[in-house]
Amino acid sequence: MEPAAMESARTPRALDTEAVHAGRDDLAGLGLHAAPIDLSTTYPSHDSRGEAARIDAFAATGADPEGPPVYGRLGNPTVARFEAALARLEGTEAAVAFASGMAALSAVLLARGAMGLRHVVAVRPLYGCSDHLLTAGLLGTEVTWTDPAGITDALRPDTGLVLVESPANPTLAEVDLRAVAHSCGSVPLLVDNTFATPVLQRPAEQGARLVLHSATKYLGGHGDVLAGVVACDEEFAGRLRQVRFATGGVLHPLAGYLLLRGLATLPVRVRAASANAAELVRRLTGDPRVARVHYPRIGGAMIAFEVHGDPHEVVSRVRLITPAVSLGSVDTLIQHPASISHRVVDAGDRRGAGVSDRLLRLSVGLEDAGDLWADLDRALGEPATAIPLREALAGSE
Ligand SMILES: *Cc1c(COP(=O)(O)O)cnc(C)c1O
Protein backbone atom coordinates (compact mmCIF):
# COMPACT_ATOMS: atom_id res chain seq x y z
CA MET A 1 0.00 0.00 0.00
CA GLU A 2 1.24 3.52 -0.78
CA PRO A 3 2.21 5.53 2.35
CA ALA A 4 -0.53 8.09 1.60
CA ALA A 5 -3.17 5.35 1.39
CA MET A 6 -1.93 3.77 4.62
CA GLU A 7 -2.18 7.13 6.33
CA SER A 8 -5.76 7.69 5.17
CA ALA A 9 -6.65 4.15 6.26
CA ARG A 10 -5.44 4.92 9.78
CA THR A 11 -7.17 8.28 10.20
CA PRO A 12 -10.52 7.76 11.93
CA ARG A 13 -13.29 8.34 9.42
CA ALA A 14 -17.01 8.86 9.84
CA LEU A 15 -19.41 6.09 8.84
CA ASP A 16 -20.54 7.92 5.68
CA THR A 17 -16.93 8.21 4.54
CA GLU A 18 -16.15 4.56 5.32
CA ALA A 19 -19.25 3.48 3.39
CA VAL A 20 -17.86 5.10 0.24
CA HIS A 21 -14.12 4.45 0.68
CA ALA A 22 -13.55 1.36 2.86
CA GLY A 23 -12.32 -1.60 0.84
CA ARG A 24 -11.30 0.76 -1.96
CA ASP A 25 -8.37 2.65 -0.45
CA ASP A 26 -5.86 1.08 -2.84
CA LEU A 27 -7.82 1.69 -6.05
CA ALA A 28 -6.41 5.09 -6.98
CA GLY A 29 -2.90 3.69 -6.51
CA LEU A 30 -3.82 0.92 -8.94
CA GLY A 31 -5.08 3.50 -11.44
CA LEU A 32 -8.65 2.25 -11.01
CA HIS A 33 -11.91 3.88 -10.01
CA ALA A 34 -14.37 0.96 -9.85
CA ALA A 35 -13.34 -2.16 -7.93
CA PRO A 36 -12.05 -4.93 -10.21
CA ILE A 37 -14.10 -8.14 -10.37
CA ASP A 38 -11.89 -11.22 -10.11
CA LEU A 39 -13.83 -14.22 -11.42
CA SER A 40 -10.93 -16.70 -11.15
CA THR A 41 -11.74 -20.06 -9.64
CA THR A 42 -8.05 -20.98 -9.49
CA TYR A 43 -4.75 -19.08 -9.26
CA PRO A 44 -1.82 -20.43 -11.30
CA SER A 45 1.58 -20.73 -9.65
CA HIS A 46 4.82 -22.51 -10.57
CA ASP A 47 5.82 -22.48 -6.91
CA SER A 48 4.17 -25.59 -5.41
CA ARG A 49 6.28 -25.29 -2.25
CA GLY A 50 4.92 -21.80 -1.71
CA GLU A 51 1.35 -23.03 -2.30
CA ALA A 52 1.86 -25.81 0.25
CA ALA A 53 3.04 -23.25 2.81
CA ARG A 54 0.03 -21.02 2.15
CA ILE A 55 -2.37 -23.97 2.52
CA ASP A 56 -0.66 -25.02 5.77
CA ALA A 57 -0.95 -21.48 7.11
CA PHE A 58 -4.66 -21.37 6.24
CA ALA A 59 -5.24 -24.75 7.90
CA ALA A 60 -3.52 -23.48 11.06
CA THR A 61 -5.27 -20.14 11.55
CA GLY A 62 -7.80 -19.53 8.77
CA ALA A 63 -6.09 -16.21 8.05
CA ASP A 64 -6.62 -14.90 4.52
CA PRO A 65 -3.72 -16.33 2.45
CA GLU A 66 -0.90 -13.89 1.61
CA GLY A 67 -0.96 -13.25 -2.12
CA PRO A 68 -3.28 -15.07 -4.54
CA PRO A 69 -5.82 -17.33 -2.76
CA VAL A 70 -4.68 -20.62 -4.42
CA TYR A 71 -8.30 -21.66 -5.08
CA GLY A 72 -11.61 -19.78 -5.14
CA ARG A 73 -12.98 -21.49 -2.05
CA LEU A 74 -10.14 -20.10 0.11
CA GLY A 75 -10.90 -16.50 -0.73
CA ASN A 76 -11.53 -13.97 -3.46
CA PRO A 77 -10.06 -10.46 -3.82
CA THR A 78 -13.38 -8.84 -4.82
CA VAL A 79 -15.27 -10.46 -1.95
CA ALA A 80 -12.39 -9.48 0.36
CA ARG A 81 -13.04 -5.81 -0.48
CA PHE A 82 -16.64 -6.15 0.67
CA GLU A 83 -15.54 -7.99 3.81
CA ALA A 84 -12.99 -5.30 4.67
CA ALA A 85 -15.56 -2.55 4.13
CA LEU A 86 -18.25 -4.22 6.25
CA ALA A 87 -15.75 -4.83 9.06
CA ARG A 88 -14.95 -1.11 9.04
CA LEU A 89 -18.64 -0.20 9.19
CA GLU A 90 -19.34 -2.61 12.06
CA GLY A 91 -16.12 -1.70 13.89
CA THR A 92 -14.73 -5.26 13.95
CA GLU A 93 -11.33 -6.67 13.01
CA ALA A 94 -12.70 -8.83 10.21
CA ALA A 95 -15.76 -10.02 8.34
CA VAL A 96 -16.43 -13.26 6.47
CA ALA A 97 -18.93 -13.35 3.61
CA PHE A 98 -21.15 -16.29 2.66
CA ALA A 99 -23.57 -17.29 -0.07
CA SER A 100 -26.57 -16.23 2.04
CA GLY A 101 -27.52 -15.16 5.54
CA MET A 102 -28.45 -18.76 6.35
CA ALA A 103 -25.06 -20.00 5.12
CA ALA A 104 -23.44 -17.45 7.45
CA LEU A 105 -25.47 -18.60 10.46
CA SER A 106 -24.79 -22.26 9.56
CA ALA A 107 -21.04 -21.59 9.50
CA VAL A 108 -21.17 -20.06 12.99
CA LEU A 109 -23.12 -23.06 14.35
CA LEU A 110 -20.75 -25.52 12.66
CA ALA A 111 -17.68 -23.70 13.97
CA ARG A 112 -18.97 -23.91 17.54
CA GLY A 113 -20.33 -27.46 17.16
CA ALA A 114 -16.91 -28.62 15.94
CA MET A 115 -15.56 -27.51 19.33
CA GLY A 116 -18.14 -29.68 21.13
CA LEU A 117 -20.27 -26.63 21.95
CA ARG A 118 -23.58 -27.74 20.46
CA HIS A 119 -25.97 -25.91 22.77
CA VAL A 120 -27.45 -22.59 21.67
CA VAL A 121 -29.44 -20.13 23.76
CA ALA A 122 -31.75 -17.98 21.65
CA VAL A 123 -34.40 -15.31 22.11
CA ARG A 124 -37.57 -15.30 19.99
CA PRO A 125 -38.61 -13.96 17.65
CA LEU A 126 -35.89 -14.66 15.12
CA TYR A 127 -36.10 -14.71 11.34
CA GLY A 128 -38.29 -17.73 10.51
CA CYS A 129 -35.58 -19.87 8.93
CA SER A 130 -33.09 -19.13 11.75
CA ASP A 131 -35.77 -20.31 14.20
CA HIS A 132 -36.36 -23.39 12.03
CA LEU A 133 -32.65 -24.23 11.74
CA LEU A 134 -32.31 -24.20 15.53
CA THR A 135 -35.65 -25.82 16.38
CA ALA A 136 -35.18 -28.67 13.89
CA GLY A 137 -31.58 -29.16 15.03
CA LEU A 138 -30.57 -29.65 11.41
CA LEU A 139 -26.89 -29.07 12.21
CA GLY A 140 -26.88 -31.18 15.36
CA THR A 141 -27.37 -28.24 17.70
CA GLU A 142 -29.77 -28.12 20.64
CA VAL A 143 -31.60 -24.89 21.45
CA THR A 144 -32.99 -23.40 24.64
CA TRP A 145 -35.45 -20.58 23.96
CA THR A 146 -35.61 -17.91 26.62
CA ASP A 147 -36.24 -14.22 27.13
CA PRO A 148 -33.32 -11.82 27.66
CA ALA A 149 -33.71 -12.01 31.45
CA GLY A 150 -33.37 -15.80 31.35
CA ILE A 151 -30.14 -16.03 29.36
CA THR A 152 -27.73 -16.47 32.27
CA ASP A 153 -29.81 -19.30 33.75
CA ALA A 154 -30.04 -21.03 30.38
CA LEU A 155 -26.26 -21.22 29.89
CA ARG A 156 -24.65 -24.68 30.17
CA PRO A 157 -21.03 -25.86 30.00
CA ASP A 158 -21.64 -26.87 26.37
CA THR A 159 -23.32 -23.60 25.35
CA GLY A 160 -21.47 -22.35 22.28
CA LEU A 161 -23.59 -19.37 21.29
CA VAL A 162 -26.25 -16.92 22.38
CA LEU A 163 -28.36 -15.62 19.52
CA VAL A 164 -30.58 -12.53 19.42
CA GLU A 165 -32.07 -10.27 16.77
CA SER A 166 -32.68 -6.61 17.52
CA PRO A 167 -34.87 -5.19 16.13
CA ALA A 168 -36.29 -8.66 15.59
CA ASN A 169 -37.87 -10.01 12.45
CA PRO A 170 -40.85 -9.52 12.15
CA THR A 171 -42.14 -7.85 15.33
CA LEU A 172 -39.32 -5.29 15.62
CA ALA A 173 -38.96 -6.21 19.31
CA GLU A 174 -35.73 -4.80 20.74
CA VAL A 175 -33.37 -6.17 23.35
CA ASP A 176 -30.85 -4.25 25.44
CA LEU A 177 -27.70 -5.50 23.72
CA ARG A 178 -25.32 -4.31 26.41
CA ALA A 179 -27.31 -6.09 29.13
CA VAL A 180 -27.61 -9.25 27.01
CA ALA A 181 -23.87 -9.24 26.28
CA HIS A 182 -23.25 -9.02 30.01
CA SER A 183 -25.59 -11.99 30.65
CA CYS A 184 -23.59 -14.14 28.22
CA GLY A 185 -20.41 -14.12 30.28
CA SER A 186 -17.73 -15.76 28.17
CA VAL A 187 -20.16 -17.33 25.69
CA PRO A 188 -20.06 -15.51 22.33
CA LEU A 189 -23.11 -13.36 21.64
CA LEU A 190 -24.29 -13.25 18.03
CA VAL A 191 -26.50 -10.30 17.15
CA ASP A 192 -28.39 -10.47 13.87
CA ASN A 193 -28.09 -6.82 12.81
CA THR A 194 -29.90 -7.22 9.48
CA PHE A 195 -32.74 -4.83 10.35
CA ALA A 196 -30.69 -2.08 12.01
CA THR A 197 -27.59 -2.08 9.77
CA PRO A 198 -24.41 -0.46 11.14
CA VAL A 199 -25.97 2.89 10.27
CA LEU A 200 -28.37 2.62 13.23
CA GLN A 201 -26.60 0.18 15.55
CA ARG A 202 -23.12 -1.33 15.97
CA PRO A 203 -23.57 -4.37 18.24
CA ALA A 204 -19.81 -5.06 18.52
CA GLU A 205 -19.49 -1.79 20.45
CA GLN A 206 -22.09 -3.11 22.88
CA GLY A 207 -20.35 -6.42 23.54
CA ALA A 208 -21.47 -8.73 20.73
CA ARG A 209 -18.64 -10.98 19.53
CA LEU A 210 -20.43 -11.80 16.27
CA VAL A 211 -22.56 -9.50 14.12
CA LEU A 212 -24.53 -11.27 11.41
CA HIS A 213 -26.23 -9.81 8.36
CA SER A 214 -28.45 -11.18 5.73
CA ALA A 215 -26.60 -8.97 3.24
CA THR A 216 -29.44 -9.85 0.87
CA LYS A 217 -31.36 -7.07 2.59
CA TYR A 218 -30.04 -3.55 3.27
CA LEU A 219 -26.35 -4.11 2.51
CA GLY A 220 -27.11 -5.13 -1.07
CA GLY A 221 -30.12 -2.87 -1.02
CA HIS A 222 -31.51 -3.47 -4.50
CA GLY A 223 -33.10 -6.91 -4.29
CA ASP A 224 -30.57 -8.50 -6.66
CA VAL A 225 -28.00 -10.23 -4.42
CA LEU A 226 -28.32 -13.17 -2.01
CA ALA A 227 -25.53 -12.96 0.58
CA GLY A 228 -24.63 -13.23 4.23
CA VAL A 229 -21.75 -11.93 6.32
CA VAL A 230 -20.42 -12.25 9.86
CA ALA A 231 -18.39 -9.37 11.31
CA CYS A 232 -16.17 -10.46 14.22
CA ASP A 233 -12.64 -10.64 15.62
CA GLU A 234 -9.83 -12.12 13.52
CA GLU A 235 -9.65 -15.32 15.61
CA PHE A 236 -13.30 -16.21 15.04
CA ALA A 237 -13.07 -15.08 11.41
CA GLY A 238 -10.30 -17.64 10.88
CA ARG A 239 -12.56 -20.46 12.03
CA LEU A 240 -15.39 -19.21 9.86
CA ARG A 241 -13.10 -19.10 6.79
CA GLN A 242 -12.05 -22.68 7.50
CA VAL A 243 -15.69 -23.80 7.73
CA ARG A 244 -16.48 -21.86 4.56
CA PHE A 245 -13.56 -23.51 2.77
CA ALA A 246 -14.62 -27.00 3.86
CA THR A 247 -18.38 -26.64 3.38
CA GLY A 248 -18.37 -24.40 0.31
CA GLY A 249 -20.89 -21.67 1.15
CA VAL A 250 -18.80 -19.05 -0.63
CA LEU A 251 -20.08 -15.75 -2.00
CA HIS A 252 -19.80 -15.26 -5.75
CA PRO A 253 -17.39 -12.43 -6.73
CA LEU A 254 -20.12 -10.63 -8.72
CA ALA A 255 -22.21 -10.59 -5.55
CA GLY A 256 -19.19 -9.26 -3.65
CA TYR A 257 -18.91 -6.44 -6.19
CA LEU A 258 -22.61 -5.57 -5.93
CA LEU A 259 -22.44 -5.58 -2.13
CA LEU A 260 -19.44 -3.26 -2.11
CA ARG A 261 -21.37 -0.94 -4.40
CA GLY A 262 -24.43 -1.26 -2.16
CA LEU A 263 -22.45 -0.23 0.91
CA ALA A 264 -21.54 3.09 -0.69
CA THR A 265 -25.16 4.27 -0.51
CA LEU A 266 -26.14 2.36 2.65
CA PRO A 267 -26.19 5.38 4.99
CA VAL A 268 -28.23 7.59 2.63
CA ARG A 269 -30.61 4.76 1.75
CA VAL A 270 -31.22 3.83 5.38
CA ARG A 271 -31.76 7.44 6.44
CA ALA A 272 -34.11 8.29 3.58
CA ALA A 273 -36.13 5.08 3.93
CA SER A 274 -36.31 5.60 7.70
CA ALA A 275 -37.75 9.08 7.18
CA ASN A 276 -40.40 7.56 4.91
CA ALA A 277 -41.10 4.87 7.50
CA ALA A 278 -41.51 7.44 10.27
CA GLU A 279 -44.08 9.26 8.12
CA LEU A 280 -46.01 6.03 7.45
CA VAL A 281 -45.91 5.16 11.16
CA ARG A 282 -47.43 8.56 11.88
CA ARG A 283 -50.27 7.87 9.44
CA LEU A 284 -50.86 4.26 10.52
CA THR A 285 -50.93 5.13 14.22
CA GLY A 286 -54.48 5.86 15.24
CA ASP A 287 -55.89 4.76 11.89
CA PRO A 288 -59.18 2.97 12.66
CA ARG A 289 -58.24 0.06 10.35
CA VAL A 290 -55.01 -0.60 12.22
CA ALA A 291 -55.03 -2.34 15.60
CA ARG A 292 -51.37 -1.90 16.49
CA VAL A 293 -48.21 -0.42 15.02
CA HIS A 294 -44.75 -1.74 15.90
CA TYR A 295 -41.81 0.56 15.31
CA PRO A 296 -38.48 0.30 17.13
CA ARG A 297 -36.98 3.02 19.32
CA ILE A 298 -33.85 3.11 17.20
CA GLY A 299 -35.98 3.86 14.15
CA GLY A 300 -35.26 2.30 10.79
CA ALA A 301 -37.18 1.49 7.65
CA MET A 302 -39.10 -1.58 8.88
CA ILE A 303 -42.66 -1.31 10.19
CA ALA A 304 -44.95 -4.04 11.46
CA PHE A 305 -48.66 -3.48 12.01
CA GLU A 306 -51.71 -5.51 12.88
CA VAL A 307 -54.93 -4.89 10.99
CA HIS A 308 -58.51 -5.32 12.20
CA GLY A 309 -59.49 -6.74 8.82
CA ASP A 310 -58.06 -9.56 6.72
CA PRO A 311 -54.28 -9.13 6.20
CA HIS A 312 -54.41 -11.28 3.03
CA GLU A 313 -56.79 -8.72 1.49
CA VAL A 314 -54.31 -5.91 2.17
CA VAL A 315 -51.51 -7.82 0.44
CA SER A 316 -53.78 -8.57 -2.52
CA ARG A 317 -54.69 -4.88 -2.99
CA VAL A 318 -51.30 -3.13 -3.06
CA ARG A 319 -50.27 -1.83 -6.50
CA LEU A 320 -47.22 0.42 -6.00
CA ILE A 321 -45.91 -1.53 -3.00
CA THR A 322 -44.37 -4.88 -3.97
CA PRO A 323 -46.17 -7.85 -2.37
CA ALA A 324 -43.09 -9.96 -1.62
CA VAL A 325 -41.03 -11.46 1.15
CA SER A 326 -37.53 -10.08 1.83
CA LEU A 327 -36.72 -6.51 2.76
CA GLY A 328 -34.20 -3.72 2.59
CA SER A 329 -34.62 -2.93 -1.08
CA VAL A 330 -35.05 0.48 -2.70
CA ASP A 331 -38.70 -0.41 -3.32
CA THR A 332 -41.29 -0.90 -0.59
CA LEU A 333 -42.23 -4.52 0.14
CA ILE A 334 -45.12 -5.93 2.16
CA GLN A 335 -45.64 -9.49 3.34
CA HIS A 336 -47.66 -11.54 5.82
CA PRO A 337 -45.15 -13.21 8.19
CA ALA A 338 -47.54 -15.96 9.35
CA SER A 339 -47.88 -17.05 5.70
CA ILE A 340 -44.35 -16.53 4.39
CA SER A 341 -41.27 -15.41 6.34
CA HIS A 342 -42.32 -17.21 9.54
CA ARG A 343 -44.40 -20.02 8.01
CA VAL A 344 -41.78 -22.63 8.94
CA VAL A 345 -42.14 -21.76 12.63
CA ASP A 346 -44.74 -23.81 14.54
CA ALA A 347 -47.93 -21.72 14.81
CA GLY A 348 -47.95 -21.89 18.61
CA ASP A 349 -44.31 -20.84 18.88
CA ARG A 350 -44.92 -18.09 16.34
CA ARG A 351 -47.88 -16.62 18.18
CA GLY A 352 -46.05 -17.05 21.49
CA ALA A 353 -43.26 -14.87 20.09
CA GLY A 354 -45.76 -12.12 19.33
CA VAL A 355 -46.20 -12.84 15.62
CA SER A 356 -49.95 -12.36 15.35
CA ASP A 357 -51.85 -13.81 12.37
CA ARG A 358 -52.99 -10.24 11.67
CA LEU A 359 -49.45 -8.87 11.50
CA LEU A 360 -48.12 -7.39 8.26
CA ARG A 361 -44.46 -6.49 7.77
CA LEU A 362 -43.61 -3.47 5.66
CA SER A 363 -40.09 -2.78 4.39
CA VAL A 364 -40.22 0.88 3.46
CA GLY A 365 -38.24 1.96 0.41
CA LEU A 366 -37.31 5.19 -1.29
CA GLU A 367 -40.53 6.09 -3.09
CA ASP A 368 -42.37 9.30 -2.22
CA ALA A 369 -44.05 8.90 1.19
CA GLY A 370 -47.31 10.39 -0.12
CA ASP A 371 -47.45 7.87 -2.96
CA LEU A 372 -46.75 5.04 -0.52
CA TRP A 373 -49.49 6.18 1.81
CA ALA A 374 -51.97 6.49 -1.07
CA ASP A 375 -51.30 2.85 -2.00
CA LEU A 376 -51.40 1.60 1.59
CA ASP A 377 -54.50 3.64 2.37
CA ARG A 378 -56.34 2.07 -0.57
CA ALA A 379 -55.03 -1.41 0.26
CA LEU A 380 -56.24 -1.13 3.86
CA GLY A 381 -59.74 -0.78 2.47
CA GLU A 382 -62.80 0.52 4.23
CA PRO A 383 -62.74 0.94 8.01
CA ALA A 384 -64.18 -2.16 9.70
CA THR A 385 -67.09 -0.12 11.04
CA ALA A 386 -68.09 0.83 7.50
CA ILE A 387 -68.46 -2.74 6.29
CA PRO A 388 -72.06 -3.22 7.50
CA LEU A 389 -72.97 0.06 5.80
CA ARG A 390 -71.33 -1.01 2.55
CA GLU A 391 -73.10 -4.35 2.75
CA ALA A 392 -76.34 -2.51 3.32
CA LEU A 393 -75.72 -0.44 0.20
CA ALA A 394 -74.46 -3.35 -1.88
CA GLY A 395 -77.83 -3.87 -3.49
CA SER A 396 -77.92 -0.30 -4.83
CA GLU A 397 -74.41 -0.38 -6.40
C1 LIG B 1 -33.48 -12.78 5.58
C2 LIG B 1 -32.91 -12.90 6.93
C3 LIG B 1 -31.99 -13.91 7.24
C4 LIG B 1 -31.59 -14.97 6.24
O5 LIG B 1 -30.83 -14.41 5.22
P6 LIG B 1 -30.77 -15.02 3.71
O7 LIG B 1 -29.84 -14.09 3.04
O8 LIG B 1 -32.17 -15.00 3.18
O9 LIG B 1 -30.24 -16.40 3.83
C10 LIG B 1 -31.45 -13.92 8.50
N11 LIG B 1 -31.81 -13.01 9.43
C12 LIG B 1 -32.69 -12.03 9.17
C13 LIG B 1 -33.05 -11.07 10.23
C14 LIG B 1 -33.28 -11.95 7.92
O15 LIG B 1 -34.18 -10.99 7.67
Check residue 273 and report its DSSP letter.
H
Whether 73 is catalytic is yes
Higher-confidence residue: 397 or 278? Answer: 278
Under the banding of pLDDT at 50, 70 and 90, the label for residue 384 is low
The answer on pLDDT for 55 being more than 90 is yes
> Which residues are CB-neighbours of 111 under 8 A, at least 6 positions away?
236, 239, 240, 242, 243
Ligand 1 binding pocket includes 167 (Cβ within 6 Å): no
The answer on pLDDT for 5 being more than 70 is no
The answer on pLDDT for 42 being more than 70 is yes
Helix/strand/coil for 346 = coil
Determine the average pLDDT of the residues in 114-119.
Answer: 98
Dist. CA 194 → ligand 1 center (Å): 7
Whether 217 is catalytic is yes
Helix/strand/coil for 230 = strand
Best residue for ligand 1 mutational test, from 98, 100, 102 (most atoms within 8 Å of Cβ): 102
Tens of pLDDT, residues 266-317: 999 999 999 999 999 999 999 999 999 999 999 999 999 999 999 999 999 9
Tens of pLDDT, residues 305-334: 999 999 999 999 999 999 999 999 999 999
Under the banding of pLDDT at 50, 70 and 90, the label for residue 12 is confident
| Helices 266-284 & 369-380 angle (0-180, nearest 10) | 40
Helices (runs of H) and strands (runs of E) counted in the chain:
16, 12
Instruction: Tell me whether strands 159-165 and 189-192 are parallel, antiparallel or unpaired.
Output: parallel
Determine the average pLDDT of the residues in 336-345.
Answer: 96
Contact 308, 289 (CB under 8 A): yes
Show the domains of the chain with their CATH numbers. 1-95+246-264 (3.40.640.10), 101-213 (3.40.640.10), 268-380 (3.90.1150.10)
Q: Which strand (E) or helix (H) includes residue 255? A: helix 253-264
CB atoms within 10 A of CB 87: 25
Ligand 1 binding pocket includes 25 (Cβ within 6 Å): no
Determine the average pLDDT of the residues in 43-63.
Answer: 95
CA angle 123, 125, 129 (to 5 degrees): 105
